[in-house]
Amino acid sequence: MVKDILRTYRGFFVLLGLCFVAFFFSPLLGRKVFTVALRNILFMLSVVPPVFILVGLFDVWIPREKVVKRLGEASGMVGIGIALALGALAAGPLYAAFPVAEVLLRKGVSLRNVWIFLGAWSTMKIPMLLFEIQNLGLVFAASRYFMSFLGVLAIAFLLDRFLSLEEKNRISPF
């Protein structure tokens, strides 16, 4: 039991040790590391629970056939549009998107659409766009958004090309 925990959290403990080393060399910097780490962890714990609850509910309630039809291999432009919208309307840091991507794959969303979703989540979120306009102006924000839109699609299509069928099946064995 204890051994399992030690093994699963191996990386965490190693890094925690590193933080203590930093603290030993420079108490000031070390304390800052711990403060920032604690703040990051608390932030993660406050943002992530609803994401996982939504993932669980989605998993249980939404039938696979429906998802496949709308977002699967044969979904075409509609699928791309839905994937973009799903990502753009999301909230939270990119690491919260990965578990969502996993459940989407399990429900039969095509890999290409999952990458479009991830790309949109990373850089095309609508709330972020509004904030960017506020800070950097309409021209800067809108042109960056437009360029990102092209990039998200290009990256998804290129990734689809680069990976062999076998590799794709390993990512999405569903």
Give, as ranges, the residues between 34 and 53 that touch another protein (CB under 8 A): 34, 36-37, 40-41, 44, 46-53
Considering only 20, 66, 170, 174, the residue that binds another protein (CB under 8 A) is 170
**Binding string to another protein for residues 120 to 159, with x set by CB under 8 A, is what?**
--xx-x-xx--xx-xxx--xx-xxx-xxx--x--xx--xx
Q: Does 16 bind another protein (CB under 8 A)?
A: yes
Q: For residue 104, give every residue at least 6 positions away whose Cβ sits within 8 Å of its Cβ, in sequence order, or none.
A: 67, 71, 113, 114, 117
Residues 64-83 that bind another protein (CB under 8 A): none
CB of 147 to another protein, least distance (A): 4
With the C-alpha atoms ordered 56, 61, 63, 69, is the resulting torsion angle positive or negative?
Answer: negative
Answer yes or no whether residue 85 interacts with another protein by CB under 8 A.
no
- Which residue, 73 or 143, is less far from another protein as judged by CB? 143
Which lies closer to another protein via its Cβ, residue 17 or residue 65?
A: 17
Closer to another protein by CB, 5 or 78: give it. Answer: 5
* 8 Å CB contact between 135 and 102: no
Nearer to another protein, 17 or 78 (CB): 17
Task: State the residue for tokens 């609803």.
Answer: 50
Amino acid (one-letter) located at 131 = F
Sequential DSSP letters for 5-46: HHHHTHHHHHHHHHHHHHHHH-HHHHHHHHHHHHHHHHHHHH
